[in-house]
Amino acid sequence: MRLTVYGVNTIKEAVLSGNIKKGGNIFVSEKKWKGGIIDKNFIKLLKEKNINILLKNDGAFLQEFGKEAFIKGIAANTEYIEKDYEDLFDKSGKNSYMPLYLILDEINDPQNLGSIIRTANGAGVSGIIMPKSNSVFITSSVAYVSQGALFYVDAVRVINISRTIVDLKKRGIWVAGLSGEADDAIYDTDFNIPLAVVVGSEGRGLRRLTAENCDRILRIPMEQGVNSLNASVSFAVAAYEILRQRKYAGVKK
């Protein structure tokens, strides 16, 4: 699908990942160009990749790319290729690492999704699974908040999350949902197994059938005050506990 990306860091990752290819165009508003929005190293990278820098007057830039892109002053058009569900397992089968999948149960906020994708990239997630309905997918805002991380993480959509959880379990993947109401804490759980983590929607959390199909529901311990974290922060805490256990638990000071 066609995707407009904006912001220097997001476009840089689109170039480095090969999503903006040789002969492609980067558009910069005249005002931002005069203000030196692009540093010399980025210009050098674009020249090395044979990617064109084209100036647009501010009015034309705003009309073509919109307000958010205009604020950043730099934009490009690229293609985002959505993967199929089965592609996630083809990829993990060719690598030696222990898989970690992320299931998002109706996330609707582009800011949350962008943050989650950025964390998923940093934590080594094998793939992100989302429902085809009642969920935000990849947008320009998501791409910007992720700072280009979406170009390195496979995201797929499925018709039914509950059935997908059942399928994952048949493939030998243990499925853990996150909920502030759970009895067991993430810090009391061994994550050194093929794993999928399920994060619920903003506000209502995990749906009933989603929770019932999980192998276990886990909570992030909270001290005084609010009783839960937002979706992106919850996943970040859980993801880095998983990474700690898998790679750093045996490291001594």
Q: Write the pLDDT tens digit of every residue in 118-146.
A: 999 999 999 999 999 989 999 999 999 99
Mean pLDDT of the chain: 91
Same domain, 60 and 150: no
pLDDT digits (tens, 9 = 90+) for 230-240: 899 999 999 99
Query: What integer pLDDT is reported at residue 95 of this predicted model?
Result: 47
Final residue of a structural domain among 59, 79, 99: 79
Query: What integer pLDDT is reported at residue 249 of this predicted model?
Result: 79
Final residue of a structural domain among 79, 112, 140: 79
Per-residue pLDDT at 252 exceeds 80:
no
Same domain, 73 and 99: no
194 pLDDT band, cuts 50/70/90, is very high
253 located within any domain: no
Same domain, 74 and 189: no
Strands 74-79 and 2-6: antiparallel
Query: What integer pLDDT is reported at residue 38 of this predicted model?
Result: 79
Within the chain, residue ranges assigned H as helices are 8-16, 30-34, 40-48, 58-65, 67-72, 87-93, 110-123, 140-145, 161-170, 208-213, 231-243
Per-residue pLDDT at 211 exceeds 50:
yes
Least confident of 116-125, 161-170, 180-189, 216-225: 216-225
d(CA 229, CA 24): 41
Residue range 179-202: mean pLDDT, rounded: 92
Least confident of 18-27, 30-39, 104-113, 192-201: 30-39
d(CA 193, CA 213): 18
Same domain, 65 and 139: no
Query: What integer pLDDT is reported at residue 137 of this predicted model?
Result: 95
Same domain, 195 and 237: yes
- The CATH number for 239's domain is 3.40.1280.10
Over the range 169-191, which residues count as b (16 or more CB within 10 Å of their CB) and which as e? eeeebbbbbbbbebeeebeebeb
CA atoms within 13 A on the CB side of 136: 18
199 located within any domain: yes
- The whole domain housing 53 covers 2-79
Query: What integer pLDDT is reported at residue 32 of this predicted model?
Result: 84
91 pLDDT band, cuts 50/70/90, is low
Contacts of 226 (CB under 8 A, 6+ apart): none
30 located within any domain: yes
Residue range 193-219: mean pLDDT, rounded: 92
Final residue of a structural domain among 34, 62, 79: 79
Helix (H, G, I), strand (E, B), or coil: what is residue 166? helix
Q: Into how many domains does the chain fold?
A: 2
Same domain, 243 and 209: yes
Partners of residue 155 on adjacent β-strands: 128
Helix (H, G, I), strand (E, B), or coil: what is residue 77? strand
Same domain, 202 and 115: yes
Instruction: Identify whether the C-beta of residue 253 lies closer than 8 Å to the C-beta of residue 199.
Output: no
- The CATH number for 14's domain is 3.30.1330.30
